[in-house]
Amino acid sequence: MPQQPREPQKPQQQNSAAAQTVSVSDVNNAEIDALLNGRHTDPFALLGPHPVPGGWVIRFFIPWAAEASIDIAPGQPVLNSMKVTDAVKVRPEGFFEALWPSNQSAPPAPGSYKIRGRTQHGEAFEMYDAYSFPYLLSEFDLYLMGEGRHYDTYEKLGAHIKTVQEVRGVNFAVWAPSARRLSVVGDFNRWDGRVNVMRARGSSGIWELFVPELDEGSIYKYEIIGPNGDMLPLKADPYAFRAELRPNTGSIVADLDKYKWNDTKWIKERPQKNWFESPVSIYEVHLGAWRRVPEENNRWLTYKELSDQLIPYVKELGYSHIELLPIMEHPFDGSWGYQTLGYYAATSRYGAPTDFMDFVDRCHNAGIGVILDWTPAHFPRDSYGLAQFDGTHLYEHSDPRQGTQLDWGTLVYNYGRNEVRNYLISNALFWLDKYHIDGLRVDAVASMIYLDYSRKPGEWIPNKFGGRENLEAVDFLKRLNEITFERYPGILTIAEESTAWPSVSRPTYLGGLGFSMKWNMGWMNDTLRYFSADPVHRKYEHNKLTFSLIYAFTENFVLPFSHDEVVHGKNSLLHKMPGDMWQQFANLRLLYAYQYAHPGKKLLFMGEEFGQRQEFSEARSLDWHLLQWESHRGLQRLVGDLNKLYAQEPALHEVDFDWPGFEWIDANDADNSIFSFARHGKAPGDLMVVILNATPVLRGNYRIGVPQPGFYVESLNTDSAIYGGSNAGNLGGVQAEAVPHMGRPYSLTLTVPPLGGLFLKWTPEVTPKA
């Protein structure tokens, strides 16, 4: 912020006289009029130092100044015995001129003088002249941005704290190629768009201005006159690092480089991590609804409080990652963050940017990765955001058949425009760089890659080949993945893609989109349909669980039970289950066993680990009081044990994406609704046999074939009393018999619990270890 003003000094007589001789005859009055009317488009042509006979004239516009003078800035040498020179108020609106006597051909150096004065109310002020400072963006920066290949634009555009000629301030830069005039406004200039008009950087469409003495915490927006001469609504900065809490909409200057990270070991080891062969168990969280503080008006937890409470909870349950619903700034709570407006700003709902950095840092030190939901598919129409940013369809398509998302009432990015692609790819890299994020889950990919997504005939425009594929979006996604993996090896990109588009999670050099993994939406839908059916009818739905193995290895799948399945009248997972309360819990335990046994990485939305009964709402906390009941504690205990088993046993996670990791034992026992299969790790001895009984009938003396002799340890039984079950089981394990069955040389005779799942780990011992 501007320094505390000093009392204006009385100028020396000879300088005061000199000031009175300054002429404005060389200044076109129309230019001054344009400035005073807020219509001047090239402020550096009028304001700041300009050569005149005998020196330099310094022109400035301060509407609130009654009088002003030019003073040598502290630490600068005194020129020609001049210390102070009065400025002439050429126009009563606040346009001033002052003579800077000099025999030098070079203008006064930036920061060599200050403007001092008094307001109409007698208040003293002082400031450096913004129009004496040079631009900071290089021509090469502008060239790369225009090419769409400047992937560090977040280091250039937006508001950046800089020191120029020993003067600290903020350099503002924004892309608005169709704007006639663009200003930065805030408390520092009384929100008067005539005061800090920015400099247009040629044909690049970039506007830039260094405003001295501003600092972190300054609130600002952009005032733009569009191509038709209309004043647009004040715009938030597309690259702002922080934003005001809604309903306020201002951008805030923030310094993201001051945080001192403590996750060097994690970041150093991450590139060597092979997540495809590692346990990936994701806890999906909405930070504002995980837990609240009811005694304080039901407020959100802060990032710091979440660090203290959420991280230990996730660690205890054994999850490898936390996935956060979008924490980028968004105006509407009910969008859960998916209608993002401030793409470069961690939401102020829970604290400052450095507080969120600390949250990520502490996750890493606890051995937990952080994945962010990211929304490059669309953006909201709010007038202060990206929509019609410079008075034209800048970020979005102009044709509503391409530029509107009908389902959500939002706008669609123009992926064919270099600067738009640059904006989005830079944003992905920004979170990986500045916040050390470990992965991005890309939302609504299907809506991006299909031109006719959720559109009727006549509501969409075919591509240049007459097809329905959005070729520009496909190219964007491929380039996004190539760049992110090139710069940040070891991170994950995960696609929420609900169609049969091929090779979503295959490398781009093989024709894929290049994602690490893809959500298996088909598996999720079929699984929930099966488990929602009454057990007496499940034998007719048997193929809903077996069908997924037809395509299980066509992609690198994540198996999600996400927030989308527990909202809008769909019920919580517990209440999707049929039967009485005991059967509901037993069914849900069986559902989780099936998820952890099935090939693919795992994801579960918050609250479902303990049997949340209400649907998800962003406006309230999870129902933590349910944990007073043993049935809910037992379910939570099971999820923790499933995570631990999954992480400990290579057979359950090492070969998730290829057939050698899975083997059906019996896929066809529909009459009993029993499924049995084996999971294999890379080593020959890593074998886990899984049996799932989807009826409430205990099956005694149930024989299945197994490939190896030895003892099969009952590693986990979802019907155990510690999980709330009936405690039917196999007394710790079963010895294989040399009785051929199901085409295998050995077999097990089992007690299969009702609505229960068994995990049997093979060991070569004839009897279990003591």
Which are the catalytic amino acids?
443, 496
Residue found under tokens 């806890």 = 283
Q: Which H or E run contains 19?
A: helix 13-20
Non-local (6+) Cβ contacts of 138 within 8 A are: none
Token digits of residue 335: 């969008």
> Cα 227 from chain centroid?
32
Residue found under tokens 């304001």 = 47
Non-local (6+) Cβ contacts of 397 within 8 A are: 403, 412, 414
Token digits of residue 127: 């400031």
- Say if residue 202 is exposed, middle or buried (CB neighbours under 10 Å; 0-12, 13-18, 19+): exposed
Quickly count helices (H) and strands (E) in the chain. Answer: 18, 38
Report long-range pairs for 328-331 (Cβ below 8 Å, ≥24 apart). 328/372, 328/374, 328/375, 329/243, 330/380, 331/246, 331/247, 331/249, 331/380, 331/382, 331/385
Residue found under tokens 């007073």 = 628
Non-local (6+) Cβ contacts of 265 within 8 A are: none
- Other beta carbons within 10 angstroms of residue 571's beta carbon come to 16
Non-local (6+) Cβ contacts of 495 within 8 A are: 441, 442, 445, 504, 505, 513, 515, 517, 518, 519
Non-local (6+) Cβ contacts of 314 within 8 A are: 283, 322, 366, 368
Kindly provide the residue ranges of all beta strands, DSSP E only, lying in 7-136, ordered along the sequence: 48-52, 55-61, 65-72, 84-86, 88-91, 95-101, 113-119, 124-128
**3-class secondary structure per residue, 638-704:** HHHHHHHHHHHCHHHHCCCCCHHHEEEEEEEECCCCEEEEEEECCCCCCEEEEEEECCCCCEEEEEE
Report long-range pairs for 23-28 (Cβ below 8 Å, ≥24 apart). 23/52, 24/90, 24/97, 26/52, 27/59
- Phi-psi group of 733: left, alpha or beta (phi > 0 → left; psi -120 to 50 → alpha; rest → beta): left
Angstrom distance (rounded) from CA 60 to CA 131? 8
C-alpha triplet 454, 460, 465: angle, nearest 5°: 120
Q: Which H or E run contains 761?
A: strand 757-763
Angstrom distance (rounded) from CA 84 to CA 149? 48
Token digits of residue 129: 């002249």
3-state secondary structure of 622: coil
Residue type, 669: D
What's the N-to-C CA distance of the chain in angstroms? 72
Residue found under tokens 């912020």 = 1
DSSP string, 250-310: -EE---SS------HHHHHHGGG--GGGS--EEEEE-HHHH-EEGGGTTEEPPHHHHHHHH
- Say if residue 210 is exposed, middle or buried (CB neighbours under 10 Å; 0-12, 13-18, 19+): buried
